Structure 1
Amino acid sequence: MQKLGGKMAEWTGILYGFYSNKPINEVFSLLKKEMGKINYQSNYYSAMDETSLFFFKDKNMFEHHLNNGYNIDMDGMGCFSVEAKNADLHGLATLFEYEDKSDFEPYDINLNFNNIFYYVLVLPEIVESSKFCLTLYNEFKKILNA
Structure 2
Amino acid sequence: MFVQRIRGLFTMTKKSPCSIQALFDLCKQTFAPSATSSPSSQAIHKLNSLLDTIGPEDVGLKDESLEDERGHGLFGLNVFNRVDRWAQPITYVDIHEGQNFTMCMFCFPTSAVIPLHDHPGMTVLSKVLYGSLHVKAYDWVEPACIRKSERVGHPTG
- Alignment TM class, shorter chain as reference: under 0.3
Greater RCO (CA < 8 Å, at least 6 residues apart): 1
Give the strand-richer structure, 1 or 2: 1
TM-score by length of 1: 0.26
Give the helix-richer structure, 1 or 2: 2
